[in-house]
């Protein structure tokens, strides 16, 4: 079977590709584990570090129908659609957000529909679909009143994925990702960037700034569990989703304080001293608008797993990215 | 000020136009009642029966950017966007539903945005946004899991109206209409057509078929109250909507049995004998998927009004459409 990953050069896309190469199979349309013959990684920049001959690297504009036609054929049985304009960027450039987060999603679903092979489509949504008046613990039945263009565009994508699935055009799943932490690599412009930075930088011997209060609640998933959730979300039977193909993934509810305490337990007090606490009101405002905790009964019942605690998230980062070596 | 009504040849569009001509004013961008100089009625067929020189009748394809450019100018301060492909039709023709219910809505909002005058936009949504597992009485906080393409397209329209308003591009309001009853004129293909038919036909001396059980719950608004709600929804300050510009309008919760009992009280037992009870499983299935009752605290607090009882709805129909004359 052939697989497409959009955003294939990003953290989730590239990591998913590596895991699929190792694993070798995915559920086909009938739910049978089937060997993967091809993984196409589409992004605006070429995905790096792949030598496996099953990998095909494509660069292009995801909102251009020609690009989509070139990467989705009737042989494409699985589509992981991760490419997106992030929250802050979509808020600053409304048209670009609509084009990439909504129009490109629709193009992909239309192309899949017209191929007639009803591929499985995993669309990454976001907890940014929630906004406005929220309870401390957001239930699966929370009404969606997003307060950002990114959030609105993600809800619209969820609705398309659900309706295209209900009509039998595709077999879709829209998974709302917790903040993925610890992200390897450099900080980015996302307001959540600090969540990885305050762990990653100190472990690499670099100072990090924490712009929010210690008691700030966080809703997290490690890269390992994020990838496992995406594969599980792909492989389970679509009927498990019921009336909506959108699902809030189980995550780990913690606080910045607990994260730092876990870092100290795993790496020692010298490492933790590399965190400088320096409040940034702009970031605090955005982060405080996010729900910090969710009741994910539905996802739990569907077999999605979350990290046990933040200590194991720190340890997984040290194993996966630092080969076990912490900067003393 | 200039007003655009899409679906201007339909029941709500034409009736709203007549009421606006009589009333003479609407709230402008600053909330000040301002004389209406022009009402453009856009539809696929020409609106009938208007002689007032403030009325401009335009026919065209609402999903064609040229049509939209021709009817929305920087002088257009109010847009009532009613044009839609109805539920059954949008389910049978997915592409047409997306084109008219979603793409045309987006075109209108984009045109308004680029004019830069932040017009008030009243978008008619529907209780079809609700579906799946619903409580007997649907609250304002009900999560939306539409089970029809029409419902999904209406939710997407609501999200655009809310996000365009949040961004300051327009000042929008998305009002979820109860079933409008008693509709004058001929039966149509809507599954809800019987709700008007079982009242209208007997009052006109014609036999009507009731395809659903007497105990079927119904959520209704008379044309009078529907129009008043649309005008109120236009004129109130947008900030009253809070985090979402979408609102379930207050309606009258009743049953088919109570409707027929009211008809008998107003028009007598001979009229009621013209109803033939003949179950239609296809219609029963659709109608039973609709919520029959809503808790509309939010709309009530915002000053929206509903009919007091079904007797007054029957009387209003007899006054407005039959000049007080019931077929004996």
- Closest approach of chain B CAs to the CA of A205, in angstroms? 42
Which of A304, A200, A221, A204 is closest to A12 using CA atoms? A221
Assign residue B16 the CATH number of its domain: 3.40.50.720
Residue A41 in tokens: 């990684």
**Residue B316 backbone class (left: φ over 0; alpha: ψ -120 to 50; beta: rest):** alpha
Residue B286 in tokens: 């659709």
pLDDT above 90 for A77: yes
Query: Are B129 and B215 in a shared domain?
Result: no
End-to-end CA distance of chain B: 46
Residue B187: what pLDDT?
87
- Beta-strand runs (E) in chain B: 2-6, 25-27, 33-35, 38-43, 55-59, 76-81, 120-126, 171-177, 179-180, 208-210, 217-221, 246-248, 252-255, 275-277
- A316 — contact with chain B (CB < 8 Å)? no
C-beta atoms of B155 and A160 within 8 A: no
Query: Are B164 and B268 in a shared domain?
Result: no
Mean of all residue pLDDT scores within chain A: 96
**Mean pLDDT for the stretch of residues B264-280:** 97
Question: What is the percent of chain B with per-residue pLDDT over 90, rounded to a whole number?
Answer: 92
pLDDT above 90 for B190: no
How far apart, in whole angstroms, are the C-alpha atoms of residue B114 and residue B103? Answer: 16
Residues of B in contact with A167 (CB under 8 A): 94, 149
Query: Are B80 and B200 in a shared domain?
Result: no
Domain region containing B65: 2-178+221-248
Instruction: For chain A, give percent helix, strand, coil, nearest 5.
Output: 40, 20, 40
C-beta atoms of B152 and A143 within 8 A: no
How far apart, in whole angstroms, are the C-alpha atoms of residue B53 and residue B38? Answer: 8
Residue A87: what pLDDT?
85
- A242 — contact with chain B (CB < 8 Å)? yes
C-beta atoms of A243 and B145 within 8 A: yes
pLDDT in tens, B7-51: 999 999 999 999 999 999 999 999 999 999 999 999 999 999 999
pLDDT in tens, A235-254: 999 999 999 999 999 999 99
Residue A43: what pLDDT?
98
pLDDT in tens, A179-221: 999 999 888 877 889 999 999 999 999 999 999 999 999 999 9
User: How high is the ipTM of this complex?
Assistant: 0.95
Among B135, B145, B150, pick the best mutation site for testing chain A contact (most A Cβ within 10 A). B145
Chain A residue at shortest CA distance from B92: A167
**Does the bond joining B182 to the residue before it have cis omega, within 30 degrees of 0?**
yes
Which of A73, A124, A131, A130 is closest to A101 using CA atoms? A124
Residues of B in contact with A160 (CB under 8 A): 152, 156
Residue A140 in tokens: 């699966």
- Kindly give, in sequence order, each residue whose CB lies less than 8 Å from that of residue B176, ignoring residues fewer than 6 positions away: B125, B126, B127, B129, B154, B246, B247, B248, B249
Residue A305: what pLDDT?
98
Assign residue A201 the CATH number of its domain: 3.90.25.10
Query: Are B212 and B83 in a shared domain?
Result: no
**Does the bond joining B63 to the residue before it have cis omega, within 30 degrees of 0?**
no
- Under the banding of pLDDT at 50, 70 and 90, the label for residue B297 is very high
CB A165 within 8 A of CB A120: no
- Kindly give, in sequence order, each residue whose CB lies less than 8 Å from that of residue A44, ignoring residues fewer than 6 positions away: A9, A59, A60, A61, A62
DSSP single-letter state for residue B7: T
pLDDT in tens, A116-128: 999 999 999 999 9
Residue A224: what pLDDT?
97
- Under the banding of pLDDT at 50, 70 and 90, the label for residue A285 is confident
- B142 — contact with chain A (CB < 8 Å)? yes
Query: Are A159 and A205 in a shared domain?
Result: no
pLDDT above 80 for A56: yes
- Burial class (CB within 10 angstroms; exposed 0-12, middle 13-18, buried 19+) of B305: middle
- Under the banding of pLDDT at 50, 70 and 90, the label for residue A328 is confident
Residue A289: what pLDDT?
81
Query: 3-class DSSP state for residue B76?
Result: strand
Residue A189: what pLDDT?
74
pLDDT in tens, B256-269: 999 999 999 999 99
DSSP assignment of A273-314 equals TTEEE---HHHHHHHHTS---B--HHHHHTT----S-HHHHH
pLDDT in tens, A120-156: 999 999 999 999 999 999 999 999 999 999 999 999 9
- A155 — contact with chain B (CB < 8 Å)? yes
Q: What angle do helix axes B149-166 and B104-115 make, rounded to 10 degrees?
A: 10
Residues of A in contact with B146 (CB under 8 A): 159, 163
Query: 3-class DSSP state for residue B106?
Result: helix
Query: Are A102 and A91 in a shared domain?
Result: yes
How far apart, in whole angstroms, are the C-alpha atoms of residue A83 and residue A89? Answer: 13
- Closest approach of chain A CAs to the CA of B143, in angstroms? 4
How far apart, in whole angstroms, are the C-alpha atoms of residue B223 and residue B13? Answer: 11
- B272 — contact with chain A (CB < 8 Å)? no
Query: Cα A156 to the chain's mean position, in Å?
Result: 17
DSSP single-letter state for residue B138: B
CB atoms under 10 Å from CB of B116, counted, come to: 9
- A193 — contact with chain B (CB < 8 Å)? no
- Closest approach of chain A CAs to the CA of B136, in angstroms? 16
Highest mean pLDDT among A60-64, A85-89, B285-289: A60-64
Query: 3-class DSSP state for residue B183?
Result: coil
- B145 — contact with chain A (CB < 8 Å)? yes
pLDDT above 80 for B66: yes
C-beta atoms of B145 and A94 within 8 A: no
**Mean pLDDT for the stretch of residues A62-68:** 98
* H or E stretch covering A202: helix A193-203
Among B105, B128, B152, pick the best mutation site for testing chain A contact (most A Cβ within 10 A). B152
**Mean pLDDT for the stretch of residues A45-57:** 97
φ and ψ of A85, to 5 deg: -90, 125
Query: Are B151 and B205 in a shared domain?
Result: no
Residues of B in contact with A149 (CB under 8 A): 163, 167
CB atoms under 10 Å from CB of A191, counted, come to: 22
- Under the banding of pLDDT at 50, 70 and 90, the label for residue A327 is confident
**Residue at B299 is within a domain:** no
Residues of A in contact with B162 (CB under 8 A): 145, 152
Question: What is the percent of chain A with per-residue pLDDT over 90, rounded to a whole number?
Answer: 92
How far apart, in whole angstroms, are the C-alpha atoms of residue A222 and residue A226? Answer: 6
Chain B residue at shortest CA distance from A93: B167
- Closest approach of chain A CAs to the CA of B223, in angstroms? 29
- Closest approach of chain A CAs to the CA of B15, in angstroms? 32
**Residue at A300 is within a domain:** no
**Residue at A187 is within a domain:** no
Query: Are B23 and B153 in a shared domain?
Result: yes
* H or E stretch covering A32: none
How far apart, in whole angstroms, are the C-alpha atoms of residue A59 and residue A57? Answer: 7
* Longest CA–CA separation in chain A, Å: 58
Query: Are B7 and B156 in a shared domain?
Result: yes
C-beta atoms of B149 and A141 within 8 A: no
How far apart, in whole angstroms, are the C-alpha atoms of residue B129 and residue B146? Answer: 5
Q: How many domains does chain B have?
A: 2
Among B243, B247, B248, B294, pick the best mutation site for testing chain A contact (most A Cβ within 10 A). B243
**Mean pLDDT for the stretch of residues B214-230:** 97
pLDDT above 80 for B189: no
- Under the banding of pLDDT at 50, 70 and 90, the label for residue A286 is confident
φ and ψ of A92, to 5 deg: -75, -35
**Residue at A328 is within a domain:** no
Name the residues of A annotated as catalytic.
150
Mean of all residue pLDDT scores within chain B: 96
Query: Are B157 and B38 in a shared domain?
Result: yes
Residue B28 in tokens: 């402008």
**Residue at A186 is within a domain:** no
The size of the A-B interface in CB pairs under 8 A is 54
Query: Are B20 and B147 in a shared domain?
Result: yes
End-to-end CA distance of chain A: 46
pLDDT above 90 for A82: yes
Query: 3-class DSSP state for residue A109?
Result: helix
Which of A200, A188, A191, A247 is closest to A218 using CA atoms? A191
pLDDT in tens, A255-279: 999 999 999 999 999 999 999 999 9
**Mean pLDDT for the stretch of residues B110-132:** 97
- A168 — contact with chain B (CB < 8 Å)? no
Query: Are B61 and B26 in a shared domain?
Result: yes
**Residue at A49 is within a domain:** yes
DSSP single-letter state for residue B103: I
Among A149, A156, A247, pick the best mutation site for testing chain B contact (most B Cβ within 10 A). A156
Which of B101, B86, B80 is closest to B156 using CA atoms? B101
pLDDT in tens, B144-178: 999 999 999 999 999 999 999 999 999 999 999 99
φ and ψ of A219, to 5 deg: -125, 105
- Kindly give, in sequence order, each residue whose CB lies less than 8 Å from that of residue A211, ignoring residues fewer than 6 positions away: A194, A278, A279, A280, A283, A284
**Residue at A81 is within a domain:** yes
**Residue at B135 is within a domain:** yes
How far apart, in whole angstroms, are the C-alpha atoms of residue B205 and residue B215? Answer: 25
Which candidate from B131, B167, B242 shows the least CB-CB separation from A243?
B131
- Closest approach of chain A CAs to the CA of B189, in angstroms? 21
Which candidate from A133, A159, A243 shows the least CB-CB separation from B243?
A133
pLDDT in tens, A4-46: 999 999 999 999 999 999 999 999 999 999 999 999 999 999 9
How far apart, in whole angstroms, are the C-alpha atoms of residue A84 and residue A96? Answer: 10
């Amino acid at each position: 079977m052939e697989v497409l990953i959009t955003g294939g050069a990003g953290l989730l896309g590239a990591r998913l590709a590596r895991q699929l190469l190792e694993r070798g199979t995915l559920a086909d349309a009938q739910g049978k584990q089937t060997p993967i013959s091809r993984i196409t990684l589409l992004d605006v920049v070429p995905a790096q570090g792949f030598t496996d001959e099953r990998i095909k690297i494509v660069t292009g504009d995801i909102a251009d129908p020609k690009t989509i036609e070139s990467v989705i054929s009737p042989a494409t049985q699985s589509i992981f659609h991760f490419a997106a304009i992030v929250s802050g960027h979509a808020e600053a450039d409304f048209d670009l957000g609509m084009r990439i987060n909504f129009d490109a999603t629709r193009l992909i679903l239309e192309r899949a529909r017209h191929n007639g092979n009803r591929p499985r489509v995993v669309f990454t949504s976001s907890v940014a679909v929630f906004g406005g008046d929220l309870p401390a613990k957001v239930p699966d039945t929370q009404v969606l009143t997003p307060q950002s263009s990114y959030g609105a565009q993600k809800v619209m994508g969820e609705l398309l994925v659900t309706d295209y699935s209900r009509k039998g055009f595709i077999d879709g799943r829209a998974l709302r990702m917790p903040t993925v932490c610890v992200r390897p690599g450099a900080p980015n412009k996302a307001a959540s960037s600090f969540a990885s930075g305050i762990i990653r930088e100190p472990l690499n011997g670099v100072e990090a700034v924490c712009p929010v209060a210690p008691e700030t609640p966080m809703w997290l998933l490690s890269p390992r569990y994020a990838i496992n959730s995406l594969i599980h979300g792909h492989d389970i039977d679509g009927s498990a989703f019921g009336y909506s193909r959108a699902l809030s993934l189980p995550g780990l509810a913690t606080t910045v304080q607990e994260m730092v305490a876990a870092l100290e337990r795993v790496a020692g007090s010298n490492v933790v001293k590399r965190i400088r606490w320096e409040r940034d009101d702009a970031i605090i405002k955005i982060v405080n608008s996010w729900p910090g905790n969710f009741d994910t009964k539905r996802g739990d019942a569907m077999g999605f797993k979350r990290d046990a605690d933040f200590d194991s998230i720190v340890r997984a980062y040290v194993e996966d990215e630092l080969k076990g070596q912490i900067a003393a």
